[in-house]
Amino acid sequence: MALHIVRFDHQDQPRWGLLEGTTITPLDLPCTTTAALIEQGHEAIRAAVGDGAELVLESATLLSPITSEAKVLCQGANYRQHMIDSGMNPDDKSFNMFFTKSPASITAPGGEIIKPAHVQLLDYEIELTLVLGKQTDGPVDVTADNLHEFVAGFCIGNDVSARDVQIPQMQFHKGKSYRTFCPLGPVLCLLEKSEIHYLDDMQLQLTVNGETRQQDSTANLVFKPAETLSEYSLIHDFAPGDVLMTGTPAGCALGLPSAALTKVAGLLPESKKWQLFIKSQKRRQQYLQAGDVVESTIASRDQKLDLGRQRHTIKDGV
């Protein structure tokens, strides 16, 4: 049976807890990192239920269950409808789009997302985020039969993006890596081998100020986790506690121009082209502004696995 793990602040120190319903039972574990927690294994974690007083979930200050040494690996454009909306034919794609986010962007599942003062086009991207469980040092052949050896569990992720940095500057890493741009958690759900099939049946929803902007199922992922990890292992080693963000559904704030308009814009000088891009995007009301509230949930269709709820308020930075 899957373990729903949270990390919370206890007397100014981080601590792990087992979440059951709305009750957190503290765990007596010496682990300070996600990697060390995973390496304990399910039985040791279950046996670590301590004598400390239980907490009510709503009273706890939750931290990200992914600690900052983790590598943040990412897939782009991986849901069928999102690809179609972006002008791509998912059936023509043979390879993933890969990029990374800085671990410095990892933040708690609640609180504030800081919009840097120079950023005008702040976007959201809910993503099922795999938490990896095995060290690799070269290419690996991941299949449906051994996927559980490489994926320890999953959590909610939000791939927050500054589109006016990412696209005009052609800087995926920079545009997606400002501080607070990677909320992860609140729940780290550690899976048993028999539960790995849930990767294909998780339901995602993101709202802004209560309005649903993104809603889809991981059944609609174009590149599934096993083939993705095999392809990614050609260029990256994995370690326990690293995460893989698996792409976002349709419904982001970004609205790409038509192919014809893109062709015409390509004839313009660079500075003029990007001035027009930012001007056209600023007409879209979907981009995040200070005071907006973003909430994300992911749960299995049968509700047996619930990754909790992220809730953030957008705040202007300096």
Q: How many domains does the chain have?
A: 2
* pLDDT, tens only, 221-230: 999 999 999 9
Q: Which two tokens stand for residue 28?
A: 């007596």
Q: Rounded distance, CA 45 to CA 61, Å?
A: 21
Average confidence (pLDDT) over 310-318: 97
CB–CB of 168/274 below 8 Å? yes
Residue 113 scores a pLDDT above 80: yes
Write down the pLDDT at residue 240: 98
Domain boundary among 26, 41, 62: 62
299 falls within a domain: yes
168 falls within a domain: yes
Q: Kindly state whether residues 102 and 210 are assigned to the same domain.
A: yes
The separation between the first and the last C-alpha atoms of the chain, rounded to the nearest angstrom, is 45
Residue 85 scores a pLDDT above 70: yes
Task: To the nearest 10°, report the CA torsion of 126, 20, 66, 288.
Answer: 30
What does pLDDT average to over the chain?
94
147 falls within a domain: yes
Q: Residue 17: CB partners within 8 Å, gap ≥ 6? A: 5, 6, 7, 8, 24, 25, 26, 27, 55, 60
- Among the residue ranges 39-48, 84-93, 190-199, the one predicted with the least confidence is 84-93
* pLDDT, tens only, 245-284: 999 999 999 987 766 667 666 777 788 888 888 999 999 9
Q: Rounded distance, CA 32 to CA 65, Å?
A: 10
Residue 158 scores a pLDDT above 90: yes
Q: Kindly state whether residues 179 and 39 are assigned to the same domain.
A: no
Domain boundary among 12, 44, 62: 62
Helix segments in the chain, DSSP class H? 34-40, 42-47, 80-85, 147-150, 163-166, 172-175, 225-232, 259-265, 270-281
Write down the pLDDT at residue 55: 93
Q: Rounded distance, CA 310 to CA 295, Å?
A: 5
SS3 of residue 165 by DSSP: helix
Q: Rounded distance, CA 125 to CA 131, Å?
A: 18
Q: Kindly state whether residues 201 and 257 are assigned to the same domain.
A: yes
188 falls within a domain: yes
211 falls within a domain: yes
67 falls within a domain: no
Q: Kindly state whether residues 83 and 27 are assigned to the same domain.
A: no
Q: Kindly state whether residues 28 and 127 are assigned to the same domain.
A: no
For residue 52, give its domain range: 3-62
Residue with tokens 């590598």: 71
Q: Kindly state whether residues 171 and 204 are assigned to the same domain.
A: yes
Residue 65 scores a pLDDT above 80: yes
User: Sorting pLDDT into bands at 50, 70 and 90, what band is 10?
Assistant: confident
Q: Kindly state whether residues 120 and 251 are assigned to the same domain.
A: yes
Write down the pLDDT at residue 256: 76
* pLDDT, tens only, 98-110: 999 999 999 999 9
Q: Kindly state whether residues 216 and 125 are assigned to the same domain.
A: yes
* pLDDT, tens only, 174-200: 999 999 999 999 999 999 999 999 999
Any idea what the CATH number is for the domain that residue 287 is in?
Answer: 3.90.850.10
Q: Kindly state whether residues 170 and 38 are assigned to the same domain.
A: no
Per the document, the length of the chain is: 318
Q: Kindly state whether residues 160 and 24 are assigned to the same domain.
A: no
Q: Kindly state whether residues 172 and 26 are assigned to the same domain.
A: no
Determine the longest span between alpha carbons in the chain, in angstroms. 69
285 falls within a domain: yes
Q: Which amino acid is at 174?
A: K
Q: Rounded distance, CA 11 to CA 32, Å?
A: 15
* Residue 283 burial (C-beta neighbours within 10 Å; 0-12, 13-18, 19+): exposed
Q: Kindly state whether residues 163 and 136 are assigned to the same domain.
A: yes
211-217 and 202-208 strand pairing:
antiparallel
Domain boundary among 11, 31, 62: 62
Q: Which amino acid is at 295?
A: E
Write down the pLDDT at residue 272: 84
87 falls within a domain: yes
Average confidence (pLDDT) over 222-247: 98
Average confidence (pLDDT) over 189-212: 97
